[in-house]
Structures are given as structure tokens and as C-alpha cells.
């Protein structure tokens, strides 16, 4: 028996999710050209977080959190969120063009703390509700512990030169 991923894909749901993000992008395109850049990126990030949480909760309640597709989709949400917040937003706003040594170090620290925190949160989400994985709460604790250093690094990265 040969494994084919296409047998497990639900193209209707994939198209619904794709269209959802395309419509969000079209709706907020006008906001990116004004002082509302941060607001638009915050709205997109918030929508992704809400959609991801709803997906994780529903899949866990239905007992699908052991399936490979659940783990792939959840990891995809986290990776997309990180790329939008850590790479696309600063690049779009031009914050990455003129980095001195200190700002570059603070940006890298921020990205490392953010990625580590969200990977720990992903570990928590992937194994929530499974009896054999009792250490998944450690992922939630790591995420919470990394919030403060991540915020400090981000503030140092974004502050103006005095």
C-alpha cells in the first residue's frame, strides 16, 4: 500500500483558509500605507492567533490532536505567525535597513526569544490532552518566562537613537 498525502488533504477546507487570508490581506492593504501599519499587522496577528486557538481547541475536543495533519497545521500557524511578526513586519516598515550593531543584536535576541517561546507554546499545544505527555506544561511555562526578555529586546530594537 502506497502512502499519498493527497488522500488526506481536504481541498475545500484548504481553499477556505487560503481565501480567508487573501481576503484579510486585501481588506487591510490600504492600512499599510499610512500610520496605521502597526495596527494592521496587529489585526492580522490577532486574527491568526484567534484562528489558531480555535483550531487547536476544536481539534483537541474532537480527539484529532494525535493526528499528523493536526500537528502540521498547528506548526504551520505558528511558523506563519512568526514569519509575519519577526520578518515581514520589520522589513515592511524599513526597520531592518539601517541597523547598527546594537540594534542588530537586540533584533536577533528578540527573534530568538520569540521563536523559542512559540516553539515551547507549540509543544504545549501539540501534546495538550495526551496523558502520556505530562511535561507539555513545561512548554507553557517556558513561553511565559520568555515574554519579559522578548519584550525588553524588542523595545531596545525599536527605540530611537537618543
pLDDT in tens, 59-94: 888 878 788 888 898 899 899 989 988 888 888 877
pLDDT in tens, 28-55: 554 445 555 556 777 888 888 889 888 8
> Max Cα separation, the chain?
66
Give the helix, strand, coil percentages of the chain, each rounded to 5: 75, 0, 25
pLDDT in tens, 93-146: 777 787 788 888 888 999 999 999 999 988 888 887 677 777 888 888 999 999
> What pLDDT sits at residue 22?
66
This prediction's pTM:
0.67
52 Cβ neighbours under 8 A, 6+ residues apart: 74, 77, 78, 81
Burial of 103 (0-12, 13-18, 19+ CB in 10 A): middle
Angle between helices 11-28 and 37-61 (to 10 degrees): 160
- Torsion sign (Cα): 15, 65, 52, 150: negative
* Cell numbers that stand for 89 in this block: 513586519
Read off the pLDDT band of 159 (50, 70, 90).
confident
Q: Which of 119, 124, 144, 142 is closest to 134 using CA atoms?
A: 124
Amino acid at each position: 500500500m502506497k502512502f499519498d498525502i493527497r488522500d488526506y488533504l481536504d481541498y475545500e477546507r484548504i481553499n477556505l483558509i487560503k481565501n480567508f487570508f487573501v481576503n484579510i490581506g486585501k481588506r487591510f492593504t490600504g492600512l499599510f500605507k499610512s500610520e496605521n501599519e502597526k495596527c494592521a499587522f496587529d489585526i492580522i496577528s490577532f486574527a491568526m492567533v484567534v484562528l489558531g486557538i480555535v483550531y487547536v481547541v476544536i481539534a483537541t475536543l474532537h480527539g484529532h490532536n494525535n493526528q499528523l495533519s493536526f500537528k502540521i497545521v498547528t506548526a504551520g500557524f505558528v511558523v506563519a505567525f512568526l514569519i509575519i511578526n519577526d520578518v515581514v513586519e520589520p522589513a515592511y516598515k524599513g526597520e531592518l535597513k539601517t541597523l547598527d550593531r546594537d540594534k542588530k543584536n537586540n533584533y536577533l535576541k528578540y527573534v530568538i526569544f520569540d521563536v523559542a517561546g512559540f516553539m515551547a507554546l507549540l509543544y504545549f499545544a501539540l501534546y495538550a490532552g495526551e496523558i502520556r505527555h505530562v511535561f507539555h506544561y513545561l512548554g507553557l511555562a517556558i513561553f511565559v518566562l520568555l515574554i519579559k526578555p522578548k519584550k525588553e529586546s524588542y523595545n531596545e530594537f525599536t527605540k530611537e537613537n537618543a
